[in-house]
Structure 1
């Protein structure tokens, strides 16, 4: 079951955006060897935690799982890259 974040947060996407998002998930899956469902769960959890402390611009949200060189040798390791535009920092946390 693929979690559609746009439905969860009330944003609607056109078919071009949906196709682009699906392609990104397939590419990420191939690079990081995780399922698209797993990546969507991670995105949802990250958003949930950050929203306890900050107001974020979800339209600009970009979270990717990719591979990068290891600092400890010549191997390649998974890397989580998140671009989360912050509108406002909440003063008291929740």
Structure 2
């Protein structure tokens, strides 16, 4: 799946299995509460990364993360992307 591929490519920091399990559980709960299909979440992740890579050079040694956070009845998509610099053609 795309999500697993992105995790393998961009999650090169060593994290404990408990942390990984906790993060996955948070994502599962957020997806469940928003009633968004897991395939849709994976597609959103891929498309966000595609857009960011068009404009920025990203640090592939760092973790790329997109999460859903629910607070006070609304849900937010949070993208944490390690950016090295803007691509020269967009300056």
User: Highest relative contact order (Cα 8 Å, sep 6+), 1 or 2?
Assistant: 2
Gaps of 5+ in 1: 70-75
Query: 1:51 is paired with a residue of what secondary structure?
Result: helix
Q: For the pair shown, which has the larger CA radius of gyration, 1 or 2? A: 1
Q: How many angstroms apart in 1 are the aligned matches of 2:68 and 2:50?
A: 18
Query: 2:41 is paired with a residue of what secondary structure?
Result: helix
2:87 paired with 1:85: no
Shift of 1:33: 2.0
Change (3 A) 1:36 1:25: farther
Q: May I ask how many residue pairs the two structures share in their alignment?
A: 85
Structure 1 residue ranges (4+ consecutive) displaced by more than 6 angstroms after TM superposition: 10-14
- When the two chains are superposed, the root-mean-square deviation of aligned CA atoms in Å is 2.8
Gaps of 5+ in 2: none
What is the TM-score with the length of structure 2 in the denominator? 0.66
